Amino acid sequence: MRSRYWSNSKLADWIRGTAKPKAETGRGWDLWETKAQENHPIRYWIVEEAFDAVQGFIWWPVDKVYEVKYYVNNRWVTRTNSLTAHARDIKPGHWQDVGNRFLPCLFNELVDFVEIETAWSQIAWGNEEAVAKYNPPFWATGWWRWRTWRCPQAGIDHLNWAASLRMDDDWTDKDSPDYGKPTRQAESAMEILALYQWWTEVYPNRPEPNEVSGWSAYCEESRQKNGGNLFAGLGLDDNRDPETSKAILDRLTKIEAEYNAEDEAMLIRLIKIRESLWT
């Protein structure tokens, strides 16, 4: 991947006769391309076709080195061939059933997407103000980028920016019912941010079921009453207190079911947004 395409340079704009936009919508790019070709068809071909062909020939050795560098990056650094869980969610060396790996693995990948890939998008396009704000290391951008720089705030800021995008004159006509509504990118950004915040803020702070149901306190009280013998006071091996233990266990089961339902709903939402998880 070349650091800069000749067809995007000021010289290219001068030869082409029609300046290329820095950024546009799909509709905007189509209109620009049609206009540029109609205005100066030969000059357009020189810049958009000949320039790219010559640059591709000259940069071939550099491109090959770059391909090797990114293979190493993808294979051994970011390991984009696998789904991984953070050590805080699944401790290395500890057994975890397959069904219990899905939630942490998928949401840890979402965290990396927001804090690494989306964070990079916030500084990737020559925004000097953003670079100064987040102060990324030299290996976070440019040729040396290794996709390991992590900045949660940069990722969140980029998603908040994307979430603010609306259907304006560049997207649709003013009399359209969609005018002023969030763009698809905005809707995706809002959903990604909501899922990220659920995993990083809500999920780890949910009350522990054994504690909030009263089961832990009941077990401790039973131990103290029965000389350290837990089961003697739980109504599990006799009938001395079956109603109290059943009521607490029912409450515990209800809380765990609610948590499982919430986890499942969030996993489904993550799967539905998966096509928007790219940079």
Q: How confident is the model at residue 199 (pLDDT cuts 50, 70, 90)?
A: very high
Distances in whole angstroms, Cα of residue 55 to Cα of each of 8, 60, 135: 12, 8, 32
Give residue 125's identity as a one-letter amino acid code: W
Higher pLDDT, 268 or 126: 268
Distance CA 217, CA 226 (A): 14
Lowest-pLDDT choice from 158-162, 206-210, 214-218, 222-226: 222-226
Distance CA 237, CA 199 (A): 40
3-class secondary structure, 162: helix
Note the pLDDT tens digit of each residue in 170-189.
Answer: 788 888 999 999 999 999 99
Q: Which residues contact 69 (CB under 8 A, 6 or more apart)?
A: 143
Q: What pLDDT does 202 receive?
A: 98
Distance CA 199, CA 106 (A): 10
Residue owning tokens 């059933």: 97
Note the pLDDT tens digit of each residue in 74-120.
Answer: 778 777 888 888 989 999 888 899 999 999 999 999 999 999 999 99
Report DSSP letters for 190-253, one per residue: HHHHHHHHIIIIIGGGSPPHHHHTTHHHHHHHHHHHTTT-TGGGTTSSSSSSHHHHHHHHHHHH
Note the pLDDT tens digit of each residue in 32-61.
Answer: 999 999 999 999 999 999 998 898 888 888
Q: What pLDDT does 24 receive?
A: 73
**For the chain, which residues make up each domain, given as ranges?**
98-203, 207-269
**With 0-12 CB in 10 A as exposed, 13-18 as middle and 19+ as buried, what is 78?**
middle
